[in-house]
Amino acid sequence: METEQQAESSLDASKSNSSNYVAHVKKLLFRPMLVGIKDGRFFIGTFYCMDKQGNIILQDAIEYRSTRRSSPSPMEHRGVGLILIPFSCRISCHVDCAIDEQLSLLSLQEKKS
């Protein structure tokens, strides 16, 4: 009986934690986001959604990559529209938001660790 109650309270706590994370992510929807990936490219677009695996979808995204040949601009860019960026490829992720929201997200990261 005691273990069932402990399991239920543990489940409730994980649901509460999960819904807390979801609430934070929902606040970031439809904001400008910059995502860097392992091969050196980065994408700027509107944060559209994130799945449970951590894959991100950007809307109206633009891809930027460095050029190796001599050109007036050190970066090339092209519009890619809607793009899915797998969690395994992502190295950085930045969202344009207010300072208090950034602090709130930092505290969320510290609790997670």
Closest CA to 63 of 81, 38, 49: 81
Output the pTM of the full model. Answer: 0.70
| pLDDT, tens digit (0-9, with 9 covering 90-100), for 38-90 | 999 999 999 999 998 999 999 999 999 987 766 666 889 999 999 999 999 99
- Dihedral (CA of 31, 36, 42, 48) sign: negative
Closest CA to 58 of 27, 35, 41, 37: 35
Q: What angle do CA 31, 28, 60 make, to 5 degrees?
A: 35
Q: What is the pLDDT of residue 57?
A: 97
Secondary structure (3-state) at 98: coil
